[in-house]
Chain A
Amino acid sequence: MSRFLSLACVLPFLLAVPLGLRSQGSKVFPYDFKVEVLSNGLKVVCVPLSNPNIIAFYTIVRSGSRNEVEPGKSGFAHFFEHMMFKGTKTMPRPAYDDFLTKLGAGTNGFTSDDHTVYFVVFAGRNNLEEVVKTEADRFLNLTYDEEMLKTEAPVIEGEYYASVSNPDRRLAELLRDTAFEKHSYKHTTLGFLKDIQDMPNQYQYSLLYKQRFYAPDNSILLVVGDFDQARLMELVKKYYGPWQPSNYQLVTPVEPPQKKAKRAHLAWPSKTLARMSVAFHGPAFSDEKINKAALDLLAEVAFSNSSPIYQKLVIEEQKCQNLYTGFPDRRDPSLLTISAVIKKDEDLPAVEKAVWQELENLKAKPVSAELLSDIKSNLKYSLANGLDTSDGVAGTLFFFISLTADPGSVNNLYDLYDKVTPADIQDMARKYFTQANSTVVTLTGGNAK
């Protein structure tokens, strides 16, 4: 705990945040933040920092590939992200590009399962009004015609092709498609190729998508850096005030409990290292219930690069080039995945067996308190190391905001981590790591030249 306190005490000096800010006590996120909500439902999270003259302006739309619940619409959240750069009547695309170019801003958008995020990172608080005005304009007044959509759609296919030679991407597609039956996490953010190729025909649906999800009651602004908060709110009210809420309620399909182990294989045409992923359906993100937090720690205990199985398979026996876990925080239940890159195809069964054995060990014996302490320390320092710029702070905080709409979730989660005990981890291992709840996908290479 002392290390934790040390972090919280020191970090406020990182960006020369002035003294006298509200004390965050033992909170792992060290900066003061303020939340205001406009009458149209638009939430604004402000993190003022006095240094270093850079502002990160993020718009978080709480809509991602999770929202693609209708057949044939996979990948649409990401496609719509592209359309958001098409301009408005008062600021057509060339003028918008011109504005951002002259501003010299770092700017882009990105889409994931649960969100689509747009950011403008720029220097100089004197540019704040123009940024707020321009960003508000495109969210309120986006204009594009069917022809513009038809021209943009093939770019998505190009984006798919940019990673077409990446076996990890293809295996991730296979894993989701195999593991999920009903939920929209069945597809990746890029979507199924057949749906991507049909995007030129989806103009009408794009209008519906915008109406449903690009609304103040489904969006949050996050502003971090060198600005005056009162002035910011004045600008936000002025430019975002007329934005009308949609009141749309998304219903995501409930994934039925998996009752039988699943397995799939992908043959890669040319030489490649073999891959394997063992996945289990796990809980959704929560900053209140212990399950997800305990499984996060469990994944680190069992498969981080300091874990016994990593040391054995990667460093000592050298059967694997890499071994890692992924258990992304998601609004709905998602997959906890253990993945390995294996040097020889013939070692695939042995590696899979070793992974299962490790999971059985977790069920049989509680992890040591010392190891658990190391894991908690790692998670806190990993977070702290990313908070040394305005963009770094925004890039950390947006994720929690997208999950719960509450920036305080970052602190709540780390408080939960502190409460996780070895018994919690053992309970979670017993609950989730069953054969019936598992999906295994593998990939091996061929001999194409």
Chain B
Amino acid sequence: MNALKFSLTILLLAGLALAVGSCSKKADPNTLTSELLPVPGNPLISFHILLKVGSANDPAGKEGLGQLALSLMANGGTQALTYQEITKRFYPMAAQVDLAVDKEMSVFSGTIHQDNLDKFYVLFCDMLLTPGFREEDFNRLKADQLNFLEKTLVSNMDEQFGKEILNLALYEGHPYGHEDAGTIESVKALTLDDVKAFYTQNFLQGNLVIGLAGGYPQGLPERVLADFAKLPKGHTPALVLPQPKAPQGLEFVMAEKQTPATAISFGFPVAATRADDDFLALWMAVSHFGEHRQHLSLLFQKIREQRGQNYGDYAYADHFIQGRDKFPATNYGRRRQYFSIWIRPLTNANRHFVIRQTLRELRQLVEEGISEERFKLVQTYLLNYTKLYAQTLSERLGWQMDSHYYGFQDFLAAVQKRLPKITREDVNRAIKKYLNFENVRIAVITQDAAALRDDLVANTPSPIAYANPNMPKEVLDEDLVIQVYPLDVRPEKVRIAPAGSFFQKPGLPQQ
């Protein structure tokens, strides 16, 4: 490229950057989008390079391809440098590139001190624009991905295992319906050529959002945009995403394994996303019912605080990944969402009771709605708590990007503006519209699953015992109701499979 042409490109891109500023409006779907958040004086610079492609884009039979290809970029060499050389150069800067792959988007992120900006950026840019795709990196990361599916997920992390099984159950036959890492069968079959083809087909300008935040120097956005504009123009067509099938009754999936503790996740698809007008009302309802790791959560109060059953019990209005501290992580935008409940592991002896208790609480929420007192409490809580969501540079940039993804200028500002106007009736209307207690998918990791199935089907009474001989009367009275609370569980709606049989192929294991 001659100097004049290069300068013109820079000017054009500078114009684009100025035009988009902190808002990602653009006309041409085949070119880059940028998200800029200048914070003058801040010595750190955060990068979020978001790819509008995720695991839902994996072709049939090649599940896990996106994860593997992007891992090779984040954790592999470039054309010029081996991965060993990159780690050596990153080390004195305390630099790293993080990768998160979700269903519809993936993000590379990194935060660097301005002392090291140039050195870091050159490497980061090369990792994404001229990846090495070496055989040895491919073999290493493919083995890691397989080990995760085959050993770690099913054997070393039951809480996550339960959530992943719920995902399989919620999205059976849907593009979301496989673990982001794929299946054991599909990953084994992946080749380096598959990875290279994935890159060629998907690393296109129109698929990328270039996020930059912090005290970056003048000219950096233009430089980054010019570099990434070397990618071919184009974009991956948006996936057709059907609404997932609603559960018909209570549908259980149980993973059988040797364990003293049972992990349980409940869920069903909901049509609302943050883009919908009544999402905030639904969000308030779910915050009341199960705010993540907060005493506000009704489930937490009833299951943990009153009865000491486990470490925590929470509910979510949309897909939730915990970020820093207990706050939601960003860049997990989805067009299809689900409601879920997470019951942390509890002793196997009390599993039937807690399943009953959770579904009974859900029923009460749906039938009775939220009280005026709790409504006001949640409103005040969310107005204050959400002020803490975006503190670090990376968080601020992530929220800005998510805001635009869901059609907001600033989602957290919209919360401050809209939440005070939401009424209790709005919340109760959203509960009736989106939540239910009869059609729910339930994932259970446990031992002797067949006995649990039989107890559920027969509605066997499930009393529990306490270390405290003087439990409050109101708790014991409620226990008498819970322990015989009838559930309509049909034996054909309970699927049981050995833990090791999950993630072998797409979907749930065949019985």
CB closest residue in chain A, given B86: A306
Chain B residues with Cβ below 8 Å from A382 are 94
B139 interfacial contact with A, CB 8 Å: yes
B309 interfacial contact with A, CB 8 Å: yes
Q: How far is the CA of A97 from the CA of B378 in the complex (A)?
A: 12
Q: Mark B128-144, 1 if CB is under 8 A from A, else 0.
A: 00000000100110011
Interface centre among A7, A105, A106, A343 (most CB of B within 10 A): A106
Q: Are A14 and B42 in contact (CB under 8 A)?
A: yes
Chain A residues with Cβ below 8 Å from B245 are none
Q: Which of the four size classes fits the interface of chain A?
A: 35 or more
A270 in contact with B311 given A304-B91, A315-B140, A388-B393 (CB within 8 Å) = no
Q: Mark A346-380, 1 if CB is under 8 A from B, else 0.
A: 00000000000000000000000000011001111
Beyond contacts A98-B377, A123-B384, A161-B345: 4 other A-B pairs, Cβ-Cβ < 8 A, are A104-B387, A318-B140, A343-B147, A390-B391
Q: How far is the CA of A98 from the CA of B373 in the complex (A)?
A: 11
CB distance from A249 to the nearest CB of B (A): 33
A164 in contact with B471 given A154-B309, A155-B310, A377-B92 (CB within 8 Å) = no
A13 in contact with B156 given A52-B391, A106-B326, A162-B310 (CB within 8 Å) = no
Q: How far is the CA of A292 from the CA of B331 in the complex (A)?
A: 40
Q: Are A103 and B92 in contact (CB under 8 A)?
A: no
Contact of B500 among A85, A159, A449 (CB under 8 A): A449
Q: Are A385 and B44 in contact (CB under 8 A)?
A: yes
Q: Are A104 and B381 in contact (CB under 8 A)?
A: yes
B306 interfacial contact with A, CB 8 Å: yes
Q: How far is the CA of A301 from the CA of B403 in the complex (A)?
A: 43
CB closest residue in chain B, given A305: B87
CB distance from A213 to the nearest CB of B (A): 24
Q: Are B344 and A200 in contact (CB under 8 A)?
A: no
Chain A residues with Cβ below 8 Å from B44 are 14, 385, 388
Q: Are A449 and B91 in contact (CB under 8 A)?
A: no
Q: How far is the CA of A314 from the CA of B139 in the complex (A)?
A: 12
12 contacts between A and B (CB under 8 A): A14-B44, A104-B383, A147-B471, A155-B311, A165-B155, A200-B467, A269-B258, A272-B152, A311-B84, A343-B147, A381-B116, A388-B42
CB distance from A143 to the nearest CB of B (A): 16
Q: Mark A315-340, 1 if CB is under 8 A from B, else 0.
A: 11010010000000000000000000
**Which positions 332-369 of chain B face chain A at CB distance < 8 Å?**
344-347
CB distance from A135 to the nearest CB of B (A): 15
Q: Are A154 and B467 in contact (CB under 8 A)?
A: yes
Q: Are B152 and A151 in contact (CB under 8 A)?
A: no
A58 interfacial contact with B, CB 8 Å: no
Interface centre among B150, B156, B344 (most CB of A within 10 A): B156
Q: Are A157 and B347 in contact (CB under 8 A)?
A: yes
A378 in contact with B91 given A104-B386, A105-B384, A152-B308 (CB within 8 Å) = yes
Q: Are B261 and A164 in contact (CB under 8 A)?
A: yes
Q: Are B155 and A164 in contact (CB under 8 A)?
A: no
CB distance from A227 to the nearest CB of B (A): 16
A158 interfacial contact with B, CB 8 Å: yes
Q: How far is the CA of A326 from the CA of B258 in the complex (A)?
A: 31
Contact of B308 among A151, A378, A381 (CB under 8 A): A151
A97 in contact with B113 given A10-B43, A200-B468, A445-B151 (CB within 8 Å) = no
Q: How far is the CA of A266 from the CA of B146 in the complex (A)?
A: 24
